[in-house]
Every structure is written in structure tokens, then in C-alpha cells.
Amino acid sequence: MNLSGAGLESARQNAGMDRDRPIGVFDSGVGGLSVLRALRAELPAEDFVYFSDAGHAPYGEKDEDFVSGRSLAIAVDLLEQHRIKGLVVACNTATAAAVHLLRAQHTQLPVVGVEPALKPAAALTKTGQVAVLATRGTLASAKFQSLQASLRDQAEFSLVPCDGLAAAIEADDQHQVRALCRRYTLEVCCFGTAPGEIDTLVLGCTHYPFAAETFRELLGPEIQLVETGEPVARQTRRLLEAQGLLNAAGGGNVRWQTTGSPEALRAAASRWLGL
């Protein structure tokens, strides 16, 4: 369609208005703040709406139908209430259960999911041995199993379901966080840099980067920790840029929404993002 005069000016104004709209980010709780941190570093002028579904957490211990239902409902809420221009599913479990449904239902909306960083880990490991810590739901998903199978010739993966760790991080129970980190790393044999040892650890839940310091204390500096925030942020930039939706002149503001405790979300944002 050819546009000229007033029509062209109207199209430009509409494009500008679309660029001004926020990006939606959601997780079952505060773990997605690790992804939001990477998004704000990559896209400092963009505005965001962060939705914490803490009233229904943890997703990793719920069945797939429940998680997909919540994901679809949250997307509709973010579209209706905030007119988001893009959606980041900042939860491994929700990505595995629902990202394909979200893309099918909202074909014009850029949707970015997260997945445990097996590909980067396979590229980084020198021993060919990688441990993956994730929720039970993520590890059991067809999406994860397909990803692992595609990398079978590149590395050997030791999988550890970490029941309770996301909830402990959510509650900022540092004693429990350390106990669970220690328990789950001890289930893996053996960390190190010698042939046959595991030299790379995938933090396969968006909550787990907030326990990275504890993992480093337990494992030592020679073990590589891999998370997903930065690749997700780069992919979000690429998709928005492709649709002409990047905002280079925004305020970098964040709005907050939660089905749980606003005070807990506020405390987590202050503690981990300095907001």
C-alpha cells in the first residue's frame, strides 16, 4: 500500500507510538528478575512491565496444563492492561510448556522464551562434561529433551532436578539456599578440570543466577557457570529491531505486577536490581 501526505505522517506517528509501548516480562516469581537485569543492560531506553505470578509459584513443580494456562492468561493481561509490544517468558518451565502456544495465539507479538543454556555450555566445556541444575518440570519437558538430544555429540550432560531451590531463593532464605546448593552439587560427580570431570555448570532456572555466588564458593573459580539472561536480551533486541519497534529515547522505566506479595517483589527488586 502506498502512503503519501497525511497517510504517511499518520503511519510514522503510529510506528512511534508502538515503539513507546513497554515490553512484558513474566515469571512464576522473582527469578525472572535475572532476565530483566540482562534486558535492562541490553536495552536501557526500553520500558518494561514485570509480572510475578508468585501466587501460583513454583511452576517447576506444577503440571504442564496448569503452567500453560497461567502463561496464556498472563499474556492476555499484559496485552490488555499495558499494551505490550513484546513478551519475554522469563521462566524455563513456562517456556517449555507454553512458548509455542503463545506464539500461535499472538502471531503479531514478538515472543522470546528462555531455555537452559546447553548450547553455550557445550561450546565452553573443555572436558566435554556439563552439569545442568533445573526444575523437575523443565528437565521432564519435551522441549528440553529435544535440545539435549541435539547436542549429544558435543557434550555429556548430567541432569539434577533441584526441588525447593527456587522457592528458597524466592524467600531469600540464605541458609536453605546454601544447604540446597551444596546438596545438589554433591549429587554430581565430579566437578573439576581433569579429563572426565565436569567443568561447566548450567544454571537452568532463572532463579538460580541469584545463587551464583554460593555456587562459586562451593565449586571454586575454575568451574564455569552458564546462565541465559544475556542471550535472551540479545534475541529480544533482534526481534524488536526487525519489526521497527526498538525505542532509543525512552525512560527505562519498570512497572510491577504480582499475584503474590507486593512487598516481597519490591524487596527482591531492590536487593537484586537496585530498583
The catalytic site residues sit at 91, 205
Q: Is 172 left (phi over 0), alpha (psi -120 to 50) or beta?
A: left
**Strands ordered across the beta sheet of 23-27:** 111-113, 86-89, 23-27, 48-52, 254-258
Q: Contact at 8 Å (CB) between 192 and 198?
A: yes
Q: Contact at 8 Å (CB) between 95 and 122?
A: no
Task: Dump the DSSP string for 146-203.
Answer: HHHHHTTTT-EEEEEE-TTHHHHHHTT-HHHHHHHHHHHHHTS--BSSSTTSB-EEEE
88 vs 111: CA distance, rounded Å: 6
